[in-house]
Structure 1
Amino acid sequence: MNSRRNFLSGAGAITGALAAASVSRVALAALPEPVIQSKPDTMAPLVPDSGRPYNPVVTLNGWTLPWRMNAGVKEFHLVAEPVVREMAPGFKAHLWGYNGQSPGPTIEVVEGDRVRVFVTNRLPEHTSVHWHGQRLPNGMDGVSGLTQKAIEPGKTFVYEFVARHPGTFMYHPHADEMAQMAMGMMGFWVTHPRGRHPLIDQVDRDFVFLLNAYDIEPGSATPKIMTMLDFNLWSWNSRIFPGIDSLNVRQGDRVRIRMGNLTMTNHPIHLHGHSFTVTGTDGGPVPKSARWPEVTTDVAVGQMRQLEFVADEQGDWAVHCHKSHHTMNAMGHDVPTMIGVDHRKVVRELTDLIPDYMVMGERGMADMAQMEMPLPDNTAPMMTGQGPFGAVEMGGMFSVLKVRRGQPAGDYRDPGWFKHPAGSVAREVAGALPDAPAAAAPGTGAMPRQAPAATDVEVQIRKPNGHAGHH
């Protein structure tokens, strides 16, 4: 992390504080120094050194925002600004975010904390911050024009409220929302329980990330903000596979994964090798009587989901959105399908005229993961990522849960690829295959035909004459 010590130089940068927060001019003159993060790596959990203790989360390809204690109030400083986000190695996007990143840093507090968040606007237009899912005074809800004046460029507002309920939340603008969220303005918020909670178990690993999506044309770097459905980059915390870090845990760990969805569609998130229960939403902890085992949970637009499981199976287990086109990168929506058509001669002639011409192969799309075709600068390949057995042929919302017996407690380093025990990997069958045994009897259908009646049955119908006698 690094700080921009002269970030707020000039008196104009600290004007315009939200009056409802009743913060003195002295406090405004000494704002907490903004902490800026430029790396897209998963940072270590931020263990609290002041305030109430809690077990910190780990933000996938992100970090937790430091704070200062001021007369018993936990103070944070968010800076809304244009950022450059590396979405995958070699591919960067020009986004809007907070404190140097998109999404912004995770904010962690404890139930009962009085929280004060300073928000400085360095965007070219006004903004606001809505604290999604929080119970707070109406004037702190962050809807510009309805509950507050918008934060104009160069101004700093302050929000202050008590974190009343433990749970999984997020923050995002409620000002020019379609443009600002399409540009990446969002962040995660976790309120930890003050003490033992009957519906919130202790876990060994607690991961958080947001589901977001962008429409960035190949060779470009800025999202198209008017897109409503045809996004081509589906991401977790503005990272696309293979740029998404793996979730590294120790065998036997109780693991919690918290997700929030700020895309334009739902995402069925699927975990291989394990089953889990949904233990919380943005409405709070789920009663234990309402939980059941799942391997896939659907996260709808604007929802948070908190799932938990015991990582009891060693290996490298895929975790991904189960919408197949959400595990692709930079996919064009008007690419023709040529499966079954030998079009190699035509493609050769077309590429002489249009070097970037691309069409789905006649055998499907898997060949495209192996093709070394030229791509425009700053373009992520559609399917990429190499595993221990070859191309993974995935992109977008895809990562790996790495469960290891020898992973030390609290160690989040990537342990490398799993070393499978001998004889435990699917393999090609060598030699001639034995004949498959035939069934002893052909069996019957689910609805066998009944024997026809011995004699025909004539149905007698008497039609009423007029309507007399009908009621």
Structure 2
Amino acid sequence: MSVSRRNFLSAAGGITLVSASAVSGRTAFASVPEAPTMKSPQMQPPLVPKTGPDYNPVVTLNGWTLPWRMNGDWKEFHLVAEPVVREFAPGMVGHLWGYNGQSPGPTIEAVEGDKVRLFVTNKLPEHTTIHWHGQLLPSGMDGVGGLTQPHIPVGKTFVYEFQLQKSGTFMYHPHADEMVQMAMGMMGFFVVHPKDPAFRRVDRDFVFLMASYDIEPGTYVPRVAEMTDFNMWTWNTRVFPGIDHIVAGKGDKVRIRFGNLTMTNHLIHMHGYDFKVSCTDGGWVPEEAAWPEVTIDCAVGQMRAFDFVADKPGDWAIHCHKSHHTMNAMGHDLNTFIGVDKRKVAKKIKRLVPDYMPMGTAGMADMGEMEMPLPDNTLPMMTGWGQFGSIEMGGMFSVVKVREGLAANDYKDPGWFKHPEGTVACEWKGEPKKTERAPSPTPARRTAEFNVVKPGRKSPHDNH
């Protein structure tokens, strides 16, 4: 796509541009393309190709696609590795490292067979590289510092050039001081579309990367030496309720792609549907071999994609099925008080700490409904409100919203689903009273009386 400064700004709402000379600080790099940057954590519209092969662009949850320019037969991109501030959800930010203003960096999209030239400018406080995870390319372009290339020094710009040999689902991340740089949020998605626009085409194509962070309440920088005890499990460095909803029209064919750069595996489960696993970072699964699932395991360093037809309207949860990964700011040293009568000891503690609230005797659900004072820069462990009350989630959780009548390019949140009468689980009020009826040749069917339980609280977002 050949894009001018004007249509960069108009097409991607909120993208700003940094000139190549400002990025590199040297006139020798005046030929380097400009580096778009994004500050907003809101999902940006897909970047539709105006020239070249046709494809249906992806939509990055809480992210955007990196614009490019054509230079002869090369498609040129510019990534800037730099410190960034990322909002995990309203009320909490992290001081991370990323690309072009965000963590994760912008999604790169291209087409099988494209010749790509990727400029990488290092504005970090230490050297870096980029590894193009899953791509088939010359060894010297593979991005392993010290092994296949020199490290990119602070303030310098390196260039990677290779031809895309296959379509599929890939990512990028450093291979330099990897424990620190990846723990600080340096990663991004790389989607290569098939040369044949009809091959495995879908109507809506969503992407996100999974990352984990340990950011203690009141602090802003992740603990990079952590291996297991993380407290922020994220999709595109966002946690529920800050993760975008996945919106689809009834009848749309939908693909969801995700990659795992955490320190453990994740079992991604979607409610209401079964789906077919269609792609890995190794390539496409042949259609006759695609297998049905409702939960797919994604191990560390892997990428997966699944397809489904959105034929069941509703609000359907999608989340990691490890329960601790749908929590925020969760300490793992908590005692279990289920069944413990804490009333007597609570009275004594309140003499010293008047605001003390005993919890956990009957489980942890009350934490999702209470609004307790929090330390600076952290989030409730369980949070989020729906039309029927507290959702009691966090971390890796979002909602697939399937609606009738959506326009093809409409990704806005349609609000909560309006359930047809009689289709919401509700309190049982017993059989209706029997009444005298005239004899009937066939027994009359009994109907039960149902009353929907009144929600404890209305969602602050329920304005529809």
Using structure 1 for the length normalisation, give the TM-score.
0.86
Whether the aligned pair in 2 keeps the contact of 1:351 and 1:357 (CA below 8 Å) is yes
Relative to 1, partners in 2 of residues 1:61 and 1:120: Cα closer, same or farther, differing over 3 Å? same
Whether the aligned pair in 2 keeps the contact of 1:336 and 1:360 (CA below 8 Å) is no
Whether the aligned pair in 1 keeps the contact of 2:20 and 2:33 (CA below 8 Å) is no
Answer yes or no: is 1:116 the counterpart of 2:117.
yes
- CA RMSD of the aligned region, Å? 2.0
Residue 410 (structure 1) shift: 1.9
Counterpart CA distance in 1 for 2:179 and 2:98 is 14
Whether the aligned pair in 1 keeps the contact of 2:24 and 2:156 (CA below 8 Å) is no
Aligned to 1:52: 53
Residue 218 (structure 1) shift: 1.2
Relative to 1, partners in 2 of residues 1:71 and 1:353: Cα closer, same or farther, differing over 3 Å? farther
Residue 6 (structure 1) shift: 5.3
Count of matched residue pairs: 420
Instruction: Letter of the 2:266 partner, please give it.
Output: H
Aligned to 1:461: none
Aligned to 1:408: 407
Counterpart CA distance in 2 for 1:256 and 1:386 is 27
Q: Deviations over 1:164-215 (max 9, x none)?
A: 1000000000000011100100000000011156xx4111100000011111
Q: Deviations over 1:430-470 (max 9, x none)?
A: 14799xxxxxxxxxxxxxxxxxxxxxxxxxxxxxxxxxxxx
Aligned to 2:268: 269
- Residue range with higher mean Cα deviation, 356-365 or 291-300: 356-365
Residue 416 (structure 1) shift: 0.4
> Which has more radius of gyration?
1
Residue 222 (structure 1) shift: 0.9
- Residue range with higher mean Cα deviation, 284-293 or 355-364: 355-364
Whether the aligned pair in 2 keeps the contact of 1:83 and 1:101 (CA below 8 Å) is yes
Q: Percent identity?
A: 66
Alignment gaps of 5+ in structure 2? 1-13, 434-464
SS at structure 2 position matched to 1:288: coil
Residue 373 (structure 1) shift: 1.6
Aligned to 2:98: 97
Residue 354 (structure 1) shift: 6.6
Q: Which runs of 4+ in 1 moved over 6 A?
A: 354-359
Aligned to 2:22: 9
Counterpart CA distance in 1 for 2:37 and 2:125 is 19
Q: Deviations over 1:68-110 (max 9, x none)?
A: 1011110000000000000001111111100000000000000
Residue 50 (structure 1) shift: 3.2
Whether the aligned pair in 2 keeps the contact of 1:3 and 1:33 (CA below 8 Å) is no
Residue 53 (structure 1) shift: 2.5
Answer yes or no: is 1:195 the counterpart of 2:199.
no
Relative to 1, partners in 2 of residues 1:349 and 1:121: Cα closer, same or farther, differing over 3 Å? farther
Counterpart CA distance in 2 for 1:4 and 1:192 is 26
Whether the aligned pair in 2 keeps the contact of 1:268 and 1:297 (CA below 8 Å) is yes
Instruction: Letter of the 1:326 partner, please give it.
Output: H
Relative to 1, partners in 2 of residues 1:88 and 1:353: Cα closer, same or farther, differing over 3 Å? farther
Counterpart CA distance in 1 for 2:184 and 2:170 is 20
SS at structure 1 position matched to 2:22: coil
Counterpart CA distance in 2 for 1:377 and 1:210 is 27
Aligned to 1:363: 362
Alignment gaps of 5+ in structure 1? 15-24, 435-471
Aligned to 2:127: 126
Relative to 1, partners in 2 of residues 1:141 and 1:357: Cα closer, same or farther, differing over 3 Å? farther
Residue 408 (structure 1) shift: 1.7
Whether the aligned pair in 2 keeps the contact of 1:356 and 1:375 (CA below 8 Å) is no
Aligned to 1:19: none
Instruction: Letter of the 1:30 partner, please give it.
Output: S
Whether the aligned pair in 2 keeps the contact of 1:13 and 1:154 (CA below 8 Å) is no
Relative to 1, partners in 2 of residues 1:331 and 1:7: Cα closer, same or farther, differing over 3 Å? farther
What pairs up with 1:150-169 in 2 under 5 angstroms? 150-169=151-170
Counterpart CA distance in 2 for 1:154 and 1:355 is 54
Using structure 2 for the length normalisation, give the TM-score.
0.87
What pairs up with 1:245-264 in 2 under 5 angstroms? 245-264=244-263
Answer yes or no: is 1:70 the counterpart of 2:71.
yes
Relative to 1, partners in 2 of residues 1:112 and 1:385: Cα closer, same or farther, differing over 3 Å? same
Q: Deviations over 1:142-165 (max 9, x none)?
A: 000000010111111000100110
Whether the aligned pair in 2 keeps the contact of 1:329 and 1:380 (CA below 8 Å) is yes
What pairs up with 1:11-30 in 2 under 5 angstroms? 12-13=25-26, 28-30=29-31
